[in-house]
Amino acid sequence: MDFKVPIVKALSRKDVNRAADIFRERVDSAGLKMSYPIPIMDILEFGYLKKLYNYEWRTESMQSGLKGYTEFVERELVLSEETYEGASAGNSSCLFTVAHELGHVVLHDRQMTNRLYEQKEIVKLNRGNIEAFKDPEWQANEFAAAFLMPFDQVRKILTENNFFPETEISFEFGVSDIAASIRIKNVLKELKKDPSFRPEGLF
């Protein structure tokens, strides 16, 4: 289903990967040591979102199909009760949703709060009418993938395992097979731009 979203500053996949790396480093430096799978619920439950971005988080009952949203005015990350329960139980889809909402905070907080503070009109268009790199939902999805499945670690697995990398990535990072497959495809797109990376059998 197409729905309306605000246009945001254009970010390439490389930009988003770097933002995810920086966020991971900031969380680690703040005291939550990074390991894999990423302990993403600890970022919320142990107050790192508040500490680093001054955002609270909460759950609420949402209509079927809604998983979560980010409230820039109130500075809140909101998860559906089902998403929270699933993420706490280790459900990979729900954990991806949490990472997606974290992406909105990391990538879009300053843009959206500045627009609201300056009382600028926030123009919303159907997603189908927005270039992907300016689509906040595309960016948040890319961030979630990059945060949960770091570029360098995925590259290492692709270098060492040319036969079943999806299975290894899914197990290593606690993501679904579909998420692993999409991440591999997108990492390979970036690697093809780097002439120094040409492991036999990947291209």
Instruction: State residue 131's pLDDT score.
Output: 87
Distance, in Å, from the CA atom of 124 to the CA atom of 198, rounded to the nearest integer, reads 41
What are the pLDDT digits (tens) for 156-201? 999 887 788 999 999 999 999 999 999 999 999 998 887 665 554 4
Nearest to 101 by CA among 87, 91, 90: 87
Predicted local distance difference test score (pLDDT) of residue 117: 58
Alpha carbon 145 to its chain centroid, in Å, reads 5
What confidence category does residue 1 fall into, taking pLDDT thresholds of 50, 70 and 90? very low
| Bond from prior residue into 39 cis (ω within 30 degrees of 0) | no
Q: Domain ranges for the chain, please list them.
A: 4-148, 149-194
Provide the 8-state DSSP code for 80.
Answer: E
User: Residue 146: is its pLDDT beyond 90?
Assistant: yes
pLDDT of residue 199: 52
User: pLDDT grade, residue 83 (50/70/90)?
Assistant: very high
Distance, in Å, from the CA atom of 27 to the CA atom of 51, rounded to the nearest integer, reads 9
Mean predicted lDDT score pLDDT of the chain: 89
What pLDDT, on the 0 to 100 scale, is given for residue 193? Answer: 82
Residue 2 reports pLDDT greater than 60: no
